[in-house]
Structure 1
Amino acid sequence: MDLNKHLEMEKGGTPGSNDATILVNESGVISFANQQVYDNFGYEHHELNGEKLLNLIPGANLQHSGAGEIIHQLGIHRDFSLFFRVNSFQLAKELYYLIVVHKVKDQSRINQQQSYPINELVDLIYALDESTIVAFTDEKGKIINFNKKFCEVSKYSATELIGKDHRIINSGHHSKEFMQELWRTISSGSVWRGEIKNKAKDGTHYWVDTTIVPFLNEKGNPYKYLAIRKEITEYKRVLEELGKFVNKMADFQFALDASSIVAITDQRGTIKYVNDQFCRISKFSKEELIGQDHRIINSGFHSKEFFNNLWKTISSGEVWKGEIKNKTKDNTYYWVDTTIVPFLDEFQKPYQYLAIRYEVTQRKLAEEEIQKMTGKIIDVQEEERKRISRELHDDIGQNLYSHLITINRLQTEMDHPLLDQMQDEATEIIESLRHLSWELRPSVLDDLGLFPAIRSLVAQFLEHHHIKVHFECYLNCRLNANKEITIYRIIQEALTNIRKYAYTEEAAVTIQEIEEEVRVEIKDQGKGFDIEKVTRGVGLFSMEERARICGGNLILHSREGKGTKVILKMPL
């Protein structure tokens, strides 16, 4: 959960449900504003996040505002008079200001003196008694008068309070110096303002926003004091919870910043925040990154469709995960394992995005090296197969043919059962040798190309295994040797799997050229299997590696009782 959402959930507990509340950091930047602020000042939701307070209330000087001091200012955007009260607090070693704004609806009352008749004064006292804790003490601090609100909040009766001093509700929270400063202020004839934590009769604690006004005699010395308090217990609780939350968020941010590359963008993708890790790996400064979008680090490696899919995912409110190749300021490349999380407003629309990345450059380089090595191994394997196939065909095969001719010549000169047996055995060995040579590397693939080689493979598959394969090819030109042998081997392996596991009498192979891509499909209507439950064997791994080496990818579909489909997609 982010800070804004937490504050919005808690805002019901801030002082006065109609109060406009603003949270500002030490630099004067607005971190949070509740809905009343947006209503009063005429802004749309989230527009104020990241704005300067001075753009909203010119002349507001937070550093020189006393705690709880009420200040009159003029708000802008919708010009109106306002009063605001400032309270500062420190969280995670950072200073924050909580500002409660009261709008003055009747401007004419600001500068006009009012004379109230007695009945209006009575009404004012009644309103004060209903909403505020009021108490009078003598010059020594003994309680001489108070209203019913004091009794309600403190849970003491009138007889228990009268004649006592305020130590009866002392919570022990404040230091001796705090109380001494309070008494020094009011005994000198000055008004004291601040927040005090008190203790009720039942032991529960409550907070009051307090103003103590000394009444002076003709010599200028206080003869009694008026204490006006407003209970802010819930407000302080929310503030405390906010402090815990901010501390927790600070811990999370520290851990995240120490381990991850972090960036926040607005709904248009413009960068609003980057951490030091982002700058370190990209080699751009924060000033160079803020206000830009991520095209500043685009390597050009990924397709337009890749980024279209990324944006389609996050703009719909879904989390996107994947690996991206980026480019630094000095044009070197790096890979990041990326998670992009959309932050949603009340209408479930993204208003900003959080991107968390982990550098995986070394792993990607290792994968590329492994892929290159695998490609070299496959090339060496194919060359060795080709060599052995030719030796079997040209050397051993020719010698066997010579022996068969010799046997045939002997049969013309003499008749013996052993000669007939030798002829049959030699013929069978030649056929097996020819089939083995074909399996290793069909010469027709090198001599005539992919289409004749697959057609011959399909014919032999029917002859040896009695499985009919429907073959269609729609290629307009020959491919390079590596791609042709890749397609041939994948079809060969897929048909071998059909023979072993599908329990079917028919299959289909289709090769077609679609725009700039070759698409190969091998399917059957056999037994099928659950992909999640079957262990991926060497054959499937070999097929995937061959596809990857040629820049393609292999897709496998299968369901129990519904057959299997293997699809190879590869650039021309």
Structure 2
Amino acid sequence: MFKEELEILDATLNEQTDSYGKVREAIHQLWDINFALDQSLIVAITDVRGNITFANQLFCDISQYSLAELLGQNHRIVNSGYHSHEFFRQLWQTIGQGGVWRGELKNRAKDGSFYWMDTVIVPSLNEQGKPCQYISFRKDITQRKMLEEQLDGLITTMPDLVLFKDGEGRWIKANQSALLFFGLRGVSYHGKTSEQLAAVSLKHGSVLRRFAAMDEEVWRRGKVLHREEEFVLEGGSSRVFELTQVPILHEDGTRGGLTITARDITERKQTDEFLFRAERVSAVGQVASRIAHEIRNPLAAMKWTLHLLKLDHPQGAVQFDALLTELDRVDGIVGELLVLGKPQEAQFKTVNLEEILRVVVLLMNSQARHSQVSLDLDCEAELPPLWGEPNQIKQVLMNLIKNGIEAMPQGGKVTIQAFLSPEHELVIRVSDEGPGVSEEVLQHMGEPFFTTKEKGTGLGLSVCHKIIHDHQGRLKIYAHPHEGTTVDVVMPIGSASEVG
């Protein structure tokens, strides 16, 4: 009678048993997930006012607070003071509107130590879609952040220029060397392009624009580029940089970012060039010295013979004097060859540069006036003394001024300046208003026997290079067509122990 009803009841009970089993299985899975989260992530739950209603053991361990101390407290209990009010305003705005917030938080433990958390905050929504509580999942990233800070500190203090840009060429990070070089200290550079920063740069805006153009080349090639680039600065000087540009691409090939490092190798290049030049001068000098020795003795005999002939034949005195003048010129060339070929005995001592400059200008004034050239001396007050051989320094300065005068056959002005450089070196700058020279000619100036003068020997600058090198200084030449020539003699200052 009740068979059919019992069968229905039996089937219903079996279905409920299956459902209960599934519920129990789901509960066990939730317990497993909860256990896994509890062992791997820092979990906390707060009410809508931000008061802590739950914290797992890992939260207690890293914050050093007990569960009893945390419950009912606001998260301000672990606030480090590192983040701004605006930072937290945006956080609460996101989760208060039902959104998920992701970010990094710096917190403070009970003992005052700091720790970093990679954080995700998920709101639980009620039937009306409004947050009723917030669940946060955090991971300890303190070690990673410490390494990042150390790396950031290393990059910040590097002498190399270091830049990080996004895929649109906007600056993300720049170290102090880069900001100082480009005159951007105190400038809000984040999110701006090199073109935009060039407009506010206190110096070297043109270099920033070159950087922007080179970025595009890196993107086109899509690979790391290593190269040397020379940049002409606003003051007319130039610096050589060793550049490394690393493009960062997404998996789909789109631009992700760009890392740029630039090392100033100007001094290294100058040293390499000087050593190369010195080796050539030394090799030429050794040969020239042997030739000079072979020439000097017969030259002396020829001059003596001409003097005797002049006495015996006074009617030919004019011709003999012309020949003797030419032989004196040859003797001077032989003397320059000997300077190249062997070290000169020099008595180094403390030298007053201003006194030497005034003597040299006085000696050269006659030749300058004859060529309708004015000499303008501008010597910085109270220059420190240098350690050197006065006569050799005079020889160099007279040679450079003479070159400047001869570069202006129609007249003009030679400016001689002396000043202390930012690197605390003495600089003597000789500038003329002549036609200048091409880049190709400039590269060969100072090489033995290379000259642009009709009657030049090509030894004057070589001798100057050698003398300045013996004084542990440098000779730098700047010239462009139709813009004159400038020669910088850069000398160290100090005593014999400091220089020699």
TM range (shorter): 0.3 to 0.5
Answer 1 or 2: higher relative contact order, Cα 8 Å, separation at least 6.
2
- Bigger Rg, which one: 1
Normalising to structure 1: TM-score of the pair? Answer: 0.35
Normalising to structure 2: TM-score of the pair? Answer: 0.39
